[in-house]
Amino acid sequence: MVATTSQSSQRPARSRKLRAVLAGGLVLGIGGAVTLAAWNDSEFASGLFSSGEFNLQGSIDNAAYTDHESSDGAAALEFSVPVDNMSPGDVVAAPFWVRLDATTTTPATLDLVSVTGTDTTGANTAELGYDVYALADGATCDETATGTVVGRGDTLVTNEDVAGETVPLSVGAAEGDPGVAAQLCFVVTASETLAQGGETTAVWQFTATSELRVIRDV
């Protein structure tokens, strides 16, 4: 009887220890379940961007080309007859060539963007009209010239009726070569009411705009 009583009194103690161990194991098991492992990898891409060059030149003889970058440095056109002694009804013409220089890397379009007429004496800006043509290769610039109308106006009043067609300009065929020159022909006509003793200056401004290119490297 004594032995039986002793065994019975020890069972509850073992049960409490077992439950404590199981409980501890459950706590550890939950803690391990929320620890996650992950992998990652990266890719990098880079690009090197270099800009080209762009420059427009002009010439009054298709031989000596230079930059005329402001109205103060405008090229002095050489008209077919003296323009310092014009009479009513006179028509005079002068050629001018434009091209992209040898360093230019992008084709362009040429546009007449403005004309400025200034009377030093008299008031003949309203008595002188103009046409600017882009001529075909080999064509002659004279009073009868025709071609693509780059701009025209019934007068030299500033920016009156400037709009016309654009002219394509190409780059050189080989590295170090200038582009093919485009010949412009300026034809100026005096009205029948041209005032005596007047002195008028006209300045035409042209702008070459490089073509937009989308470059894909695959």
Which of 54-58, 69-73, 96-100, 101-105 has the weakest average pLDDT? 69-73
Copy the structure tokens of residue 208: 């070459």
pLDDT in tens, 127-170: 999 999 999 988 999 999 999 999 999 999 988 777 889 999 99
pLDDT in tens, 100-115: 999 999 999 999 999 9
Domain residue limits, the chain = 1-35, 56-210
How many angstroms separate the first and last alpha carbons of the chain?
Answer: 95
**What percent of the chain is predicted at pLDDT more than 90?**
59
Distance CA 20, CA 86 (A): 120
Query: Phi then psi for 153, rounded to 5 degrees?
Result: -155, 145
Higher pLDDT, 32 or 189: 189
pLDDT in tens, 25-55: 444 444 455 556 778 888 888 888 888 889 9
Cα distances from 87 to residues 23, 90, 119, 187, in angstroms, run: 118, 6, 16, 15
Banded pLDDT at 214 (limits 50, 70, 90): low
Place of tokens 């050489």: 78
CATH tag, 56-210: 2.60.40
